[in-house]
Amino acid sequence: MSSERNDPFPDRFDVCGVTSDGAAWLASAGTYPRSTLALWEERPTAPVVLPCGSAFDVVSAPAVFGRRMVDRLWEEGPGSGPVAALRGRMLLFAAPGTAQRLPSLLGWEEIGRTGAIPPLLCHGNGDAVTVPALRAPAAPTSGDSRWLVAPDTRHPWLPGPEILLWAAVRAARAAVRISIFPPADQDAKVYDVSRRR
């Protein structure tokens, strides 16, 4: 039997890395997974809204900070689960239960109280998120969502709250510039000393 007959999505989603197993995992989050898969088979460039809390939670971070978190996870940590970019934010797919636990962990962390970590939106049980299409549109625009780390298996590894806390703290520390000079007084007068006689 050929692999095309067993695979409802034969090599169609290689453009952004979503495999048929990854599509099946995403669809498993919904109430009607077969309907979601049928929609994607008919319209692979369609984004879909899926509920959080059973197959995954999602931590949404501002784009630049979220990218720093993903960089820390891959450069110094265990890697990330699936990651998507959507409307100026990074969606980090996490283990179920992360959305409930991460905010309290961030509250305990000193760096979280200084404003170095921007507000992270945690989507868990009772929430839903828009996931990018399985295949990028033929003429993508800057506002289109896309996968940065696409789901490629039916059981992807998903970071928990402790790992995402670690990544957020590392990203915040990397963003803080350390200087031995005190900050300049914003109201100070500036004199051109090069014109001295």
- For residue 109, CA distances in Å to 33, 63, 114, 169 come to 38, 22, 9, 8
What gap in Å lies between CA 129 and CA 123, rounded to an integer?
8
pLDDT at res. 177: 55
Other residues' Cβ atoms within 10 Å of the Cβ of residue 130: 14
Number of Cβ atoms within 10 Å of the Cβ of 153: 12
Alpha-carbon Rg for the chain in angstroms:
21
Between helix 161-175 and helix 98-108 the angle, nearest 10°, is 40
Q: What span, in angstroms and rounded, lies between the C-alpha atoms of 20 and 134?
A: 9
Condensed to tens digits (0 to 9), the pLDDT of residues 132-152 reads 998 876 666 656 789 999 999
Cβ atoms 77, 163 nearer than 8 A = yes
Q: 136: alpha, beta or left, given left = phi > 0 and alpha = psi -120 to 50?
A: beta
Tokens of 146: 């896309």
- Assessment of whether the complete model's pTM goes beyond 0.85: no
Give me the pLDDT at residue 108, please: 83
Q: Where are the alpha helices (DSSP H) in 55-160?
A: 63-75, 98-108, 110-113
CA–CA distance from 137 to each of 14, 44, 64, 91, 123 (Å)?
13, 9, 24, 19, 26
**Which stretches of the chain score pLDDT less than 70?**
1-16, 110-114, 137-143, 176-197
